[in-house]
Amino acid sequence: MRLFVAIDLSEDVRTRIAAFRDALKARSSRGKFARQENIHLTVAFIGECDAERTDKIKDAMDSLQFGKFPMTVDRIGRFRRDGGDIWWLGISESEELQSMRRDLVKALANSGTGVDERYDPHITIGREVRTDERPHSIDGFTATVDSVDLMRSERIDGTLTYTSIHTKRAWP
């Protein structure tokens, strides 16, 4: 199964992010736009895993110790691609997020499960997007991070679906 570790956002936060996605979609000639229920912030992409490796990832996540922290969404941007750009919402610098990710990467490495150590926190809102729109400033907003999830990515009846299969909650 295909896995990644993510901050699974609240419905209220997803709704706010979906408004940016919808505005971009309205000004685009084409693109693949994130379904509202799939909107998340990836912490670590893992890829294909068997049951044994999945158990090691869960154990690594369970070893994390972090408290609730704020995360501020404060910009919109894109990664240029020949087939259409990837558009995203960016997160302001967060030592808590970086620290949690460093601890996760270390725990995964110690369990024999490596991940890409490059990291630029962002929330993807569209792929293969063609538009004359330019990245611009946005009215930022803050969300509380109180857990991290191991997510399974799969196609169900032709629809890309993300499902949490394990959760590590922050301490109060």
Distance CA 153, CA 149 (A): 12
Residue type, 171: W
Distance CA 24, CA 127 (A): 11
DSSP string, 27-57: TEEEEEE--GGG-EEEEEEEEE--HHHHHHH
Provide the 10 A C-beta neighbour count for residue 140.
13
Specify the pLDDT at position 113: 85
pLDDT tens-place values along the chain, 172 residues long: 999 999 999 999 999 999 999 999 999 999 999 999 999 999 998 999 999 999 999 999 999 999 999 999 999 999 999 999 999 999 999 999 999 999 999 999 999 887 877 778 899 999 999 999 999 889 999 999 999 999 999 999 999 999 999 999 998 7
Total domains in the fold of the chain? 1
- Tokens representing 62 are 């369970």
Distance CA 4, CA 149 (A): 8
Distance CA 120, CA 91 (A): 9
Query: Any bridge partners for residue 4, and if so which?
Result: 45, 151
Distance CA 28, CA 7 (A): 27
pTM comes to: 0.91
Range of the structural domain that residue 73 is part of? 2-169
Specify the pLDDT at position 121: 84
Specify the CATH number for the domain of residue 84: 3.90.1140.10
Distance CA 115, CA 18 (A): 28
